[in-house]
Amino acid sequence: MGFWQGVREDIQAIFEHDPAATSMLAVLLCYPGLHARTFHRFNHWLWIKRFRLLARWLSQVVRFFTGIEIHPGAVLGRRVFIDHGMGVVIGETAFVGDDVTLYQGVTLGGTGKEKGKRHPTLRSGVFVGNNANILGNITIGENSRVGAGSVVLRDVPPNSTVVGVPAHIIYQDGKRVLITDPKDVKDPLSDVIIALAGEVRELKERLGFSEPASASGDHAVQHLQSVRTLADEDSERDEYRFTQRPFDEQFTEIASGI
Ligand SMILES: CC(C)(COP(=O)(O)OP(=O)(O)OC[C@H]1O[C@@H](n2cnc3c(N)ncnc32)[C@H](O)[C@@H]1OP(=O)(O)O)[C@@H](O)C(=O)NCCC(=O)NCCS
């Protein structure tokens, strides 16, 4: 695919993704993601032709102007949309597929422990929320979504949504995924949670509150109960929203007058 055809597709992707993109002039002037992406096409060509220092230096110049650092060695697919962009870092051996969306502050980085291919692969249609970190030679499957602020350290299957630090799956193929076993919590505190769950189970058994149950089954019930109580929190939020509504209308009026 030619250089200009690629740029045209990138512009089209901005119009498709961002309702704030109202004119061609605005897109050409106000989207640092487009600027960084366009210069990366040239820098990547220089990198392949082995003008490596020049390519790296130019990528730093682009970073100075856009706040987006794309290593010239990184491979980016078609219609990659980097929105806002400030603070985005894409490492040398990262691979970004077609129709991927990245928000500001996203890092596709290494863990500092690997050599060779040490940055992530994002398959087509992946969406990465702002300030998410995807670290190491891992793969984010087709059409998966990474929540804002997440830290992803393991592969993500296709059509999944992951959130948290470290990230865990909350949706897969459209279905909600619940953590039902403390052993599924993969963070440095999981040992404490597992120990606590064990103690609670033991205490309940001693007090005769429940039959001895498997860790996962017992915990599943507790977790579902906690999900139910969130409904109260939701109604409080609805109430809050209701009290804010007069302000919302005022805001809409002011915004439409701008
Ligand atoms: C991850 C994301 C894509 C999920 O959206 P969704 O499918 O609508 O998911 P839901 O809103 O139903 O959330 C499901 C659960 O995940 C939690 N969750 C959602 N996003 C989260 C995040 N980034 N970090 C931690 N938890 C998150 C929700 O609280 C909810 O938990 P609960 O069911 O226990 O209450 C979205 O929340 C997100 O982070 N989008 C990024 C947006 C962004 O970066 N915008 C930048 C604009 S400049």
- Residue labelled with tokens 């100075």: 64
Atom of ligand 1 nearest to the CA of 227: 34
Q: What is the rounded average pLDDT of the residues 139-164?
A: 97
**Ligand 1 centroid vs 215 CA: distance in angstroms?**
28
pLDDT classification of 241: cutoffs 50, 70, 90: low
Task: Tell me if 140 sits within 8 A of 158, measured CB to CB.
Answer: no
- The dihedral built from the CA positions of residue 16, 18, 21 and 27, taken in this order, carries a sign that is negative
Same domain, 117 and 233: no
User: 81 is written with which tokens?
Assistant: 């949309």
Candidate of 156, 161, 179, 230 to mutate for ligand 1, largest count of ligand atoms within 8 Å of Cβ: 161
Cβ–ligand 1 contact at 177 (below 6 Å): no
Q: Could you tell me which residues come within 8 angstroms of residue 16 by beta carbon, excluding any fewer than 6 positions away?
A: none
For residues 100 and 208, membership in a common domain is answered with no
What percent of the chain clears pLDDT 70, i.e. is strictly above it? Answer: 81
147 lines ligand 1 (CB under 6 A): yes
Domain membership of residue 197 as a residue range? 188-256
Q: Are residues 75 and 146 in the same domain?
A: yes
Residue 222 has pLDDT above 60, yes or no: no
Q: How far does residue 177's CA lie from ligand 1's centre (Å)?
A: 13
If asked whether residues 99 and 143 sit together in one domain, one would say yes
Does 99 lie in the same domain as 77?
A: yes
| Residue 183 within any structural domain of the chain | no
Q: Mean pLDDT, to the nearest integer, of 212-217?
A: 51
How does pLDDT run across 65-87, given as a tens digit for each residue?
999 999 999 999 999 999 999 99
The residue out of 178, 210, 240 marking a domain boundary is 178
pLDDT at 227: 46
Single out the residue in 152, 178, 204 at which a domain terminates. 178
pTM: 0.84
The alpha carbon of 166 and the centre of ligand 1 are apart by a number of angstroms equal to 14
Higher pLDDT, 209 or 102: 102
Residue nearest to atom 11 of ligand 1 (CA): 147
Judged by phi (left if over 0) then psi (alpha if -120 to 50, else beta), residue 90 lies in: beta
User: Which atom of ligand 1 sits closest to the CA of residue 130?
Assistant: 44
Is there a domain that residue 120 lies in?
yes
> 191: CA distance to ligand 1 center in Å?
26
Ligand 1 atom at shortest distance from the alpha carbon of 230: 35
Q: Is 123 exposed, middle or buried (0-12, 13-18, 19+ CB in 10 A)?
A: buried
Helices 215-257 and 190-207, packing angle to 10 deg: 120
- Helix, strand or coil for residue 31? coil
| Residue having the nearest C-alpha atom to atom 37 of ligand 1 | 147
Question: Is the CB of 33 within 6 Å of ligand 1?
Answer: no
The encoded tokens of residue 23 equal: 């004119």
Please tell me the chain's helix, strand, coil percentages from 3-state DSSP, rounded to the nearest 5. Answer: 45, 15, 40
Higher confidence at residue 230 or residue 102?
102
How far apart are the C-alpha atoms of 132 and 171, rounded to whole Å?
17
One domain, residues 135 and 221: no
Give the residue with greater pLDDT, 184 vs 224: 184
Domain boundary among 143, 178, 213: 178
According to DSSP, residue 181 is labeled: S
H helix or E strand, kind and range, residue 145: strand 145-146
